[in-house]
Amino acid sequence: MKKRKLSNQFFRNFLVIFLLVILDTVLALVLLSAASGWISGSLAKNRYPASSIIREDYTQIDASAIVRDGGGVQVVDREYHVVYSRGIDTIGKDKLTAGEFTAFLTGCRSKPYHYDIAYHPEGEFWLIVTFPTSIRLDFALVFNKEASAGDFAQAGKAIAVAALGYILIIALSALIYSRITAARITVPLRKLCDGTRLLREGDYSARVDLRLKNEFAELQDTFNDMAARIEHEISLRRKSEEDRRRLILDISHDLKNPMSSIQGYAEMLLKKTDIPEQERQEYIDIILNNSKRANLLLSELFELSRMDSPDFSLKLERTDISEFIRQTCGELVSQLEHEGFEYEFNIPEESIYVMLDTHRFGRIIQNLANNAMRYNPPGTRVTVSLTVQSNLAVIDFIDDGIGIPPHLADDIFKPFVRADDSRNSKTGGSGLGLSIAKKIAEAHGGNLAFCPGVVKGASFRITVPAI
């Protein structure tokens, strides 16, 4: 299908307008002519023509009606004396020279007055009737068939040239205006098409700047917003894909080591029947520990994936979180003392009620405590505080240990992210504990956040809505 350019369509539209302008011009001339004839009878100057009031004796001329309607009457004799004057007088003299009178007669149309002049041959005087001009349109088309053929030809040429010039001016104006109008539409459309093509080709950073303040500006904003959303979605998709690949690699890595160890020691036990009992027991313990580690990893993976399921739900109960945190911290005391940790608990005596799934919420505190004891040396102090801020129960879990490396601060809640980059099985956990803890907090309508730089060591804040 052949495409039609918008600029050409505009030109065709303005060609129609051009023809309509020509037609309107002709109609305007006809209407002006009709209006001139319609109003001619109602104007004062046409009610008192000089020929109707002239008399052989100019002293018998009755000028009262003319003066009453705002006009004037003057009589000039053959010696160019103003011998009679009533009403307005635009001559302004009592005696004129021949040249002055001729100039007056030839310059009448340049003055804002209408003059009707009649000559009385017997009395040898000129009668001049004067009225102020209201509006004058100096246009007249006169045809006299008695004129010479040469005059007709010259006049016809002049009229044809004028009409042709008028038509050309109108056509040129229509062409220029059509191009300008088309450009104001086609240029923004071309920029939008270019931006759309870039999006289609995968350049999601494409933006359009039309520098307009009309409907195209709204279209520009809509396009740029759409492009920004697509770019954001693509970025999220790429990041999600990268996270998925990293997650698979991390799972493979963390499962490969214990499974390889289990396989290796199991094959050794099968092949070597003469292994001493003590050494055999050590191998069995290694197999057991690695199986526990693999089982823990799979269990936590299952729990993490279950929390992302739409079927996941909590068993919420109205709970005094002050008493709950007090009991939870009491259960941690023996573990902290065993690891040589110091501790401080700041729990208010008054009751603070929240909606909790106590079994799962306790997992948050336990995971934070496990991380603190796993990565920090003996002598580290752990502080747990409970406050109420803006209808939120706020639990701060702080230790003054080695802290979390700055490069991990933004990713600490992602699966398989560990403070120990070596992924040592003795010092590192599964790398899923904080991810699970954050999801549990969010499922309660709250949050678990890391507060970098607040204190020495690591500081975490748990929030949950109070009721």
Question: Residue 450 pLDDT > 60, yes or no?
Answer: yes
When pLDDT is averaged across residues 157-167 and rounded to a whole number, the result is 82
Q: Is residue 361 part of a domain?
A: yes
Which domain does 341 fall in, by range? 313-419+430-465
Residues 75 and 25 in one domain: no
By mean pLDDT, which of 3-17, 93-107, 393-407, 445-459 is the weakest? 3-17
Q: According to the model, what pLDDT value does residue 14 have?
A: 74
> pLDDT-derived band of residue 427, with 50, 70 and 90 as boundaries?
very low
Q: Is the confidence at residue 393, as pLDDT, over 90?
A: yes
What pLDDT shows up at residue 335?
Answer: 92
Inside any domain, residue 205: no
249 with 364, same domain: the answer is: no
Q: In this structure, are 109 and 240 located in the same domain?
A: no
Q: Is residue 201 part of a domain?
A: no
Confidence band of 303 (pLDDT split at 50, 70, 90): confident
Predicted confidence at residue 323, as pLDDT, reads 95
Q: Are residues 240 and 350 in the same domain?
A: no
More confident position, 275 or 82: 82
Q: Based on the domain organization, do 301 and 253 belong to the same domain?
A: yes
Amino acid at site 416? F
Q: Model-level pTM?
A: 0.48
In which residue are the tokens 């909590």 written?
314
pLDDT score of 404: 86
- Same structural domain for residues 116 and 229? no
In a domain, residue 74? The reply is yes
Same domain flag for 348 and 415: yes
Average confidence (pLDDT) over 252-257: 74
Q: Is pLDDT of 146 > 70? A: no
Query: Between 27 and 221, where is the model more confident?
Result: 221
- Can you give the chain as a three-state secondary structure string? CCCCCHHHHHHHHHHHHHHHHHHHHHHHHHHHHHHHHHHHCCCHHHHCCHHHHCCCCHHHCCCHHHHHCCCEEEEEECCCEEEEEEECCCCCCCECCHHHHHHHHHCHHHCCEEEEEEEECCCCEEEEEEEECCCCCCCCCCCCCCCCHHHHHHHHHHHHHHHHHHHHHHHHHHHHHHHHHHHHHHHHHHHHHHHHHHHHCCCCCCCCCCCCCCHHHHHHHHHHHHHHHHHHHHHHHHHHHHHHHHHHHHHHHHHHHHHHHHHHHHHHHHHCCCCCHHHHHHHHHHHHHHHHHHHHHHHHHHHHHHHCCCCCCCCCEEEEHHHHHHHHHHHHHHHHHHCCCEEEEECCCCCCEEEECHHHHHHHHHHHHHHHHHHCCCCCEEEEEEEEECCEEEEEEEECCCCCCHHHCCCCCCCCCCCCCCCCCCCCCCCCHHHHHHHHHHHCCCEEEECCCCCCCEEEEEEEEEC
Q: Two tokens at 403?
A: 């802290």
- 409-438 mean pLDDT: 69
pLDDT at 163 over 90: no
Tell me what percent of the residues of the chain surpass a pLDDT of 90.
Answer: 34
As to burial, measured by CB atoms within 10 angstroms (0-12 exposed, 13-18 middle, 19+ buried), residue 335 is middle
Q: What is the mean pLDDT of residues 219-226?
A: 88
**Average pLDDT score over residue span 71-81:** 94
As a whole number, mean pLDDT of residues 43-70 equals: 89
Same domain, 224 and 298: yes
pLDDT at 208: 86
pLDDT digits (tens, 9 = 90+) for 345-356: 999 999 999 999
Could you identify the residue written with the tokens 């009491």? 330
130-134, 270-274, 341-345, 349-353: which has the minimum mean pLDDT?
270-274
Comparing 9-18, 104-113, 341-350, 365-374, the range with the smallest average pLDDT is 9-18
Residue 120 and residue 25 in one domain: no
Residues 223 and 74 both lie in one domain: no
> Does residue 203 lie in a domain region?
no
Average pLDDT, the chain: 83
Kindly report the CATH number assigned to the domain that includes residue 384: 3.30.565.10
Q: Is the pLDDT reported for residue 17 higher than 90?
A: no
Highest mean pLDDT out of 27-31, 251-255, 267-271 = 267-271
| 210 assigned to some structural domain | no
The one-letter code for the residue type at 206 is A
Would you say residue 247 lies in a domain?
yes
> How many domains is the chain partitioned into structurally?
4
Tell me the average pLDDT across 273-284: 85
Structural domain ending residue among the three candidates 263, 288, 306: 306
Say what the pLDDT of residue 382 is.
95
Q: Which residue has the higher pLDDT, 34 or 437?
A: 437
Do 448 and 361 belong together in one domain?
A: yes
Looking at the fold, whether 293 and 325 belong to one and the same domain comes out as no
Residue 209 lies in a domain: no
- Residue finishing a domain among 247, 279, 306: 306
> What is the C-alpha to C-alpha distance for residues 454 and 403, in angstroms, rounded to an integer?
11
